[in-house]
Amino acid sequence: MELFADLQTGISRNETELRRSSKSSKRDIEASQKRLLAVEDKYQLDSRGAFPFPDDLRIDNTHLAPRVVAEQFAAHFGLTKGSEAGGPLSSPN
């Protein structure tokens, strides 16, 4: 599975309180932005569709809510809510 978003969205998300509180590398917003821009210039940050696995899933989450992304993931991999196995999601197989 691959999630990707455009560069401006990545920069904006790195500035959110949730991201900064969850990831120490994001707490210094200016340094985090500089790192992201430097890495963006030097490396290819997504597969661009050349993912080496047969059942791959790529989701552009630039304009999608987390719930929508989770629903797409679950649908793609045949997962359902609730299970007798005790997890929040399970495969029907």
At residue 56, the pLDDT reads 83
At residue 75, the pLDDT reads 93
Phi-psi group of 78: left, alpha or beta (phi > 0 → left; psi -120 to 50 → alpha; rest → beta): left
- Please name the residues in contact with 56: beta carbons below 8 A apart, sequence gap of 6 or more: 1, 2, 47
At residue 20, the pLDDT reads 87
Give the pTM.
0.67
Q: Please classify residue 24 by burial: count the beta carbons closer than 10 Å to its beta carbon, then call 0-12 exposed, 13-18 middle and 19+ buried.
A: exposed
The sign of the dihedral angle between the CA atoms of 31, 33, 36, 39 is negative
Q: Which residues of the chain have pLDDT under 50?
A: 84-86
Q: What value does the mean pLDDT of the chain take? A: 83
Q: How far is CA 24 from CA 4, 9, 17, 37, 38, in A?
A: 21, 19, 11, 18, 18
At residue 66, the pLDDT reads 92
